[in-house]
Chain A
């Protein structure tokens, strides 16, 4: 069974640009959540999608957005990139949503903003 797939693996952008990251969950998983990992702030929750609906959102500006498609694949978008957006963006999927669900993480997309 294939794991969580995130594309692209690496991305270099300049300030002011926008970027779209993609996440394909494990087959059959309906929940997808996104996290940002930086050396200074650690892992921080961005948002969670289930059945194409955003269920929870973290404390990030409106420049960060996402969506989930009917096949459970998800994308996140960051507009007007800032230097501080440089981070590893991780996607996690699970069968359902719940506080004890097993989350499976992808290898992430490493975004560098110059």
Chain B
């Protein structure tokens, strides 16, 4: 069974601070995706990384895939209240069968 562990589970920070969320596994994944979910809605895809060592940037968000394709991180620079939400990492090896991490609930206070 492939597992993805996310840390931290909860994060409460002030606007303007930086933060990093980690996603770790003992298994190799062909791809790693990051999603953000708001209350009452389904997850929304932020990024997909497929190559070991890959780094992708989306405005103030930076995503990294580990060299061995077993771990990933999400770094947010100068967090804003609009970044508040549940961040989920998900790994895939076959089709659209995703293994999700437990999620990181982020709250950014103004």
Residues of A within 8 A of B (CB): 4, 31, 33, 35, 42-45, 48, 50, 55-56, 58-59, 90, 92, 94, 97-108
Contacts and interface: CB of A to CB of B under 8 A. Distances in A.
A92 B96 contact: yes
Contact of A100 (B1, B40, B48, B103): B48
Interface in B63-83: none
A42 B4 CA distance: 11
A31 B88 CA distance: 21
A31 B41 CA distance: 20
Interface of B: 1, 29-31, 33, 35, 40-45, 48, 50, 88, 90, 92-103
A108 B35 CA distance: 15
Contacts of B31: 99-100
Contact of A99 (B41, B94, B100, B102): B94
B94 A90 contact: no
A64 to B, nearest CB: 15
Contacts of A108: 41-42
B42 A99 contact: no
Contacts of B30: 99-100
Contacts, number: 74
A56 B100 contact: no
A6 to B, nearest CB: 8
B93 A105 contact: no
11 contacts: A48-B96, A56-B96, A94-B96, A99-B31, A99-B50, A100-B30, A100-B31, A101-B96, A103-B98, A105-B43, A105-B44
Nearest to B1: A59
Contacts of A106: 42
